[in-house]
A = this chain, B = another copy of it.
Amino acid sequence: MVSDHLRSAVRAYIEANRFRLVSELQDFLRLKSISTENVGMDECARFLRDELLRLGFAADVATLPGAMPAVWGQSRRGGGPRVLVYGHYDVQSPDPVELWDYPPFAAEIRDGVIYARGATDDKGNIWANVKAVEVLQAVLGEVPVSLRFLFEGEEEIGSPHLGLFMRALADRISADIAIVCDRGIHESGRPQLYLGNKGIVSLEVSAKRAKRDVHSGHAPLIPNAAYDLMKLLTSMREPDGTVTIDGYLENVKGPSFEERQLLDTIPFDRETFNRDYGLASNLGPQDSRGMLERLLYYPTANISGFKAGWMGERGRTIIPHEARARMDFRLVHAQTVDEVKAKIARFIEKSPYGPFDFAFGDGNEEYKVSPGLPAVKAAIENARAVYGTEPVVWPLLDGSGPLYLFPKHLGCPVFMIGLGAPFSTANTHAPNENISVDQYLKGIEQMAGLLATYAELM
């Protein structure tokens, strides 16, 4: 249990250095690092590396062929638990720039809020961690754990080399526990943690029936590619969303007892949800708690795009000879990417509406860490202490991500802490992305406290 004395000292240091800490984040935010356009990546990576070197870390920019540079860092302390913090320094394009009220790379402060691309996603998260190191060095004389950093530059383009970087840097960044710092706190102002995410498999599937579009007078004889592909797609699920692919649900498990306990504590309201998205009604249960459980524990077969025939000005009386669709499948415990791909492929191949061409995109595995893991319990306890309120702990995200790569390549469990602005106000991937000064400083405090907690835990 970290002493009140230490927590007070951390807060006092942050308060005393408030102006400089904010100013340094502004410097970091002013560096463009747009991976989607390959702008400013090297410069931003070196800036991060230099800051870690300044803090006395072993650190460098790591490269791989065809990849944006990654930055690793390692504290000098040999003993104690090994803790890996992951973040990404790349940001989305600021377009459309004209919709920003402030220049996206000026990091202007208005009414206590810093506006900049990357403010929450994810440079604010990263910088809070780097500054937590400085705070602990000032207050304790050292970082009390064997701390490792991995900051990648490809998160906004799907982290295509993250696994390779982990393997290449395993000697430098392997750890007992990994923490992904991304996203923000809850809308209610409560701190927020995520203990896992769903897996995902993406699919492109198409039908070709004739060698060109044919006059629809011939429809009694000529197969319609759009119809056949629709029959395939709609045969994959029920109207209520239940996936009907053979054997698809056989490995699917619902929430554990511990997870159900967490679900009971998450703020989720049916009326708000349906109003936010403009729904007349939602799929599945009509009570808030039931909806939340379904949101996180149901596998999905989602049609994300479909195109066939002519949808321009004035109709054309044609039979589309080709139709193309995209789908994504969210995987829940204990589905695996390979298993799901095999089942989908078999379903498509033996469909009575075929033949179809199809190809899978890269998949991500589902991942969950137990809420009972001591490192997780300690993180929840630390968040409670820092914020003086109950954290919102998601047993998993409804989205997907690279969490599974940490156990796979580095052999450690992982979970996620959000240090940024709440999702509804952060404007992530949108104009006027921001983080409040107070939230940024609170992030430093939370991470400094967590590292001190871990020093005592193990």
**Neighbour of A295 across the interface among B200, B218, B278, B355, CB < 8 A:** B218
B315 contacts A399, CB within 8 Å? no
Taking A227-B233, A308-B303 as contacts, is the C-beta distance between A330 and B219 under 8 angstroms? yes
B306 contacts A220, CB within 8 Å? no
Question: In the complex, A98 Cα to B34 Cα: how many Å?
Answer: 43
**A277 contacts across to B, CB distance below 8 A:** 210-212, 214, 218, 222
A398 contacts B218, CB within 8 Å? yes
Interface 0/1 of A219-253, CB less than 8 Å to B: 11111101110110110010101000000000000
**Neighbour of A307 across the interface among B227, B300, B306, CB < 8 A:** B306
- A220, A311, A326, A330: most-surrounded residue (chain B CB, <10 A): A220
**Neighbour of A215 across the interface among B210, B309, B399, CB < 8 A:** B399
Question: In the complex, A320 Cα to B306 Cα: how many Å?
Answer: 10
B308 contacts A320, CB within 8 Å? no
Question: In the complex, A221 Cα to B297 Cα: how many Å?
Answer: 11
| A144 CB, min distance to chain B CBs, angstroms | 37
A399 contacts B320, CB within 8 Å? no
For A202, give the chain B residue with the smallest CB separation.
B315
**A221 contacts across to B, CB distance below 8 A:** 273, 282-284, 291, 294-295
A324 contacts B311, CB within 8 Å? yes
Decide yes or no whether A142 CB sits under 8 A from chain B.
no
A170-211 CB contacts (< 8 Å) to partner B: 198, 200, 202, 204, 209-211
Decide yes or no whether A400 CB sits under 8 A from chain B.
yes
Decide yes or no whether A317 CB sits under 8 A from chain B.
yes
Question: In the complex, A222 Cα to B330 Cα: how many Å?
Answer: 14
Decide yes or no whether A389 CB sits under 8 A from chain B.
no
Decide yes or no whether A302 CB sits under 8 A from chain B.
yes
Report how many copies the assembly holds.
2
Question: In the complex, A47 Cα to B219 Cα: how many Å?
Answer: 40
**Neighbour of A219 across the interface among B216, B228, B241, B281, CB < 8 A:** B241
| A232 CB, min distance to chain B CBs, angstroms | 10
B298 contacts A220, CB within 8 Å? yes
A306 contacts B306, CB within 8 Å? yes
Decide yes or no whether A85 CB sits under 8 A from chain B.
no
**A300 contacts across to B, CB distance below 8 A:** 216, 219-220
Decide yes or no whether A22 CB sits under 8 A from chain B.
no
For A158, give the chain B residue with the smallest CB separation.
B314
Taking A211-B277, A217-B198, A399-B215 as contacts, is the C-beta distance between A306 and B308 under 8 angstroms? yes
Question: In the complex, A318 Cα to B305 Cα: how many Å?
Answer: 8
Interface 0/1 of A397-428, CB less than 8 Å to B: 11110000000000000000000000000000
| A407 CB, min distance to chain B CBs, angstroms | 22
A103-145 CB contacts (< 8 Å) to partner B: none
A227 contacts B211, CB within 8 Å? no
By a beta-carbon cutoff of 8 Å, the part of chain A in contact with chain B is 198, 200, 202, 204, 209-212, 214-224, 226-228, 230-231, 233-234, 237, 239, 241, 273, 277-284, 291, 294-296, 298, 300, 302-311, 315-321, 323-324, 326, 328, 330, 352-353, 355, 361, 397-400
